[in-house]
């Protein structure tokens, strides 16, 4: 009896299909490449020039610091799978890392991704990368590389996961670390576009299990299907904040701290940028809360404190600024299309958030 001839395809990975995937995403990736990207697509590593005195930055850098961040999209991917719509979660992937990077005052330079799926799926990979390209264009960074891992014995059919990694740059003297936060400083909140990419385990449980909805069911309070609402991409704040920092350089101490409001909400994220003896007092009702949060709280009978810690509540990014400039900064950001509200103030006290 002859032994059957085995190959990689019979084990779950078709190399020809993999090449199709690479061909599809290569054309997309090159859209994000600026003068700093030195090599083409498909090598073993990506090269990015740090000739920063002539590349993109008119003032140059004397003592640059690299800033690194990584994150994922979480179970928002489950909603994408149920909706069979995968061209926006790549935006979320970029947003989660570049918004974190921004909190140090850094400009994102390069972004890399990791995709993992049970079988090679070129159309799926193309949609995911298309979203990443859009996110990188919004953030002003280059998608320089990534990894597509085909793991047939690790993921169930239809499952996949993705992670992102960003490298940014900031002048050492321009690092924003919150050390200059003073009592009387104002907390500004930039509106979110909904849940962004956090709290989806609870949101799915409320909507799809407790309320018994299908992703295609329209929720009157939202004016759209629950699936469409939950797939709204995460807002990327890089451009307006970078423009603001050019107008108010860190040395002027106008912008004291920046915080990305992700999992943990304002309650857990704002204290991460507060020095000792500084406490944030956040005023409820000082910004418009998107209907999705009100609907989730009511449909799931979720306690207010739990809502504060799980979701962003309608605020995706916060700034702590000197009081004299607070109103003009809020007006500036709002005029640029990023609604910004005066949501609280800093007082003496133990680091943390107190809701008023």
Report the C-alpha gap between 1 and 118 in whole angstroms.
Answer: 32
Residues 168, 198: one domain? no
Residues 167, 256: one domain? no
Residues 229, 351: one domain? yes
Secondary structure class of 45 (helix, strand, coil): coil
- Closest C-alpha to 68, from 39, 35, 36, 110: 110
Report the C-alpha gap between 19 and 228 in whole angstroms.
Answer: 32
Residues 121, 208: one domain? no
Decide which of 50 and 295 is more confident.
295
pLDDT for residue 2: 66
How many Cα atoms within 13 Å fall on the side-chain side of residue 61? 19
Report the C-alpha gap between 175 and 103 in whole angstroms.
Answer: 9
Decide which of 314 and 58 is more confident.
314
Report the C-alpha gap between 101 and 321 in whole angstroms.
Answer: 19
Residue 114's H or E segment, with its range, is: strand 107-117
- Exposed/middle/buried for residue 11 (C-beta within 10 Å: 0-12, 13-18, 19+): exposed
Residues 192, 212: one domain? yes
Q: Is residue 154 part of a domain?
A: yes
Tell me the residue range of the domain where 231 lies: 186-355
DSSP state of 324: G
Residues 134, 255: one domain? no
Asked if pLDDT for residue 35 goes beyond 90, the answer is: no
DSSP state of 290: P
Residues 119, 206: one domain? no
Residues 295, 340: one domain? yes
* Model confidence pLDDT, tens digit, residues 252-289: 899 999 999 999 999 999 999 999 999 999 999 999 99
DSSP state of 37: B
* Model confidence pLDDT, tens digit, residues 190-199: 999 999 999 9
Report the C-alpha gap between 87 and 303 in whole angstroms.
Answer: 34
Residues 258, 351: one domain? yes
36 pLDDT tier (thresholds 50, 70, 90): confident
pLDDT for residue 13: 61
Q: Is residue 1 part of a domain?
A: no
In this structure, what CATH number is given to the domain that contains residue 160? 3.30.1330.10
DSSP state of 23: H
Q: What is the DSSP string of 48-88?
A: B---TTTSS-TT--SSEEEEEEEEE-TTHHHHHHHHT--SS
* Model confidence pLDDT, tens digit, residues 212-231: 999 999 999 999 999 999 99
Q: Is residue 263 part of a domain?
A: yes
Listed residues 130, 154, 174: the one ending a domain: 174
8 pLDDT tier (thresholds 50, 70, 90): low
Q: Is residue 79 part of a domain?
A: yes
Residues 72, 191: one domain? no
Beta bridge partners of 72: 163
* Model confidence pLDDT, tens digit, residues 51-105: 755 545 445 788 899 999 999 999 999 999 999 999 999 999 999 999 999 999 9
Residues 269, 326: one domain? yes
Can you give the pTM of this predicted structure? 0.92
Percent of the chain at pLDDT > 90 equals: 76
In this structure, what CATH number is given to the domain that contains residue 298? 3.90.650.10
pLDDT for residue 31: 76
Q: Is residue 209 part of a domain?
A: yes
Total domains in the chain come to: 2
Report the C-alpha gap between 135 and 144 in whole angstroms.
Answer: 13
Residues 112, 215: one domain? no
* Model confidence pLDDT, tens digit, residues 157-206: 889 999 999 999 999 999 999 999 999 999 999 999 999 999 999 999 99
How many C-beta atoms lie closer than 10 Å to residue 104's C-beta? 18
- Closest C-alpha to 157, from 129, 120, 115, 198: 120
**Across all residues in the chain, what is the average pLDDT?**
91
Q: What does the block give as tokens for 282? A: 């956040």
Asked if pLDDT for residue 1 goes beyond 90, the answer is: no
How many Cα atoms within 13 Å fall on the side-chain side of residue 129? 30
pLDDT for residue 355: 96
Listed residues 153, 174, 195: the one ending a domain: 174
Mode of pairing for the β-strands spanning 224-225 and 255-260: unpaired
Listed residues 141, 174, 207: the one ending a domain: 174
- Closest C-alpha to 73, from 199, 209, 207: 199
Phi, psi of 182 (to 5 degrees): -125, 155
């Amino acid at each position: 009896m002859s032994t059957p001839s085995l190959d990689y395809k019979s084990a779950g990975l078709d190399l020809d299909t993999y090449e199709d995937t690479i061909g599809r995403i290569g054309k997309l990736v090159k859209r994000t490449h600026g003068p700093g990207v030195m090599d083409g697509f498909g090598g073993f590593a990506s090269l990015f020039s740090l000739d920063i005195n002539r590349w993109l930055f008119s003032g140059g850098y004397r003592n640059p610091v690299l800033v690194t961040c990584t994150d994922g999209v979480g179970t928002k991917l489950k909603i994408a799978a149920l909706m069979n719509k995968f061209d926006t979660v790549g935006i979320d992937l970029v947003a989660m890392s570049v918004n974190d990077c921004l909190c140090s005052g850094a400009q994102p330079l390069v972004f890399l991704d990791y995709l993992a799926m049970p079988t090679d799926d070129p159309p799926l990979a193309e949609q995911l990368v298309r979203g990443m390209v859009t996110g990188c264009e919004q953030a002003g960074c280059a998608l320089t590389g990534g990894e597509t891992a085909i793991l047939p014995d690790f993921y169930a059919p239809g499952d996949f996961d993705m992670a992102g990694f960003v490298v940014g740059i900031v002048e050492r003297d321009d690092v924003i670390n919150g050390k200059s936060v003073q009592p009387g400083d104002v907390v500004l909140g930039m509106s979110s576009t909904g849940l962004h990419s956090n709290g989806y385990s609870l949101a799915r449980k409320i909507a799809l299990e407790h309320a018994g909805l299908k992703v295609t069911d329209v929720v009157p309070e939202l004016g759209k299907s629950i699936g469409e609402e939950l797939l709204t991409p995460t807002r990327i704040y890089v451009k307006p904040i970078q423009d603001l920092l050019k107008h108010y350089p860190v040395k002027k101490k106008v912008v004291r701290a920046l915080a990305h409001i992700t999992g943990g909400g304002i309650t857990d994220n704002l204290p991460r940028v507060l020095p000792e003896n500084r406490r944030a007092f956040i005023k409820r009702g000082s910004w418009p809360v998107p209907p999705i949060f009100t609907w989730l709280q009511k449909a799931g009978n979720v306690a207010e404190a739990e809502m504060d810690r799980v979701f962003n509540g309608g605020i995706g990014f916060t700034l702590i600024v000197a009081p004299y400039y607070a109103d003009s900064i809020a007006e500036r950001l709002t005029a640029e299309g990023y609604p910004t509200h005066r949501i609280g103030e800093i007082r003496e006290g133990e680091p943390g958030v107190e809701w008023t």
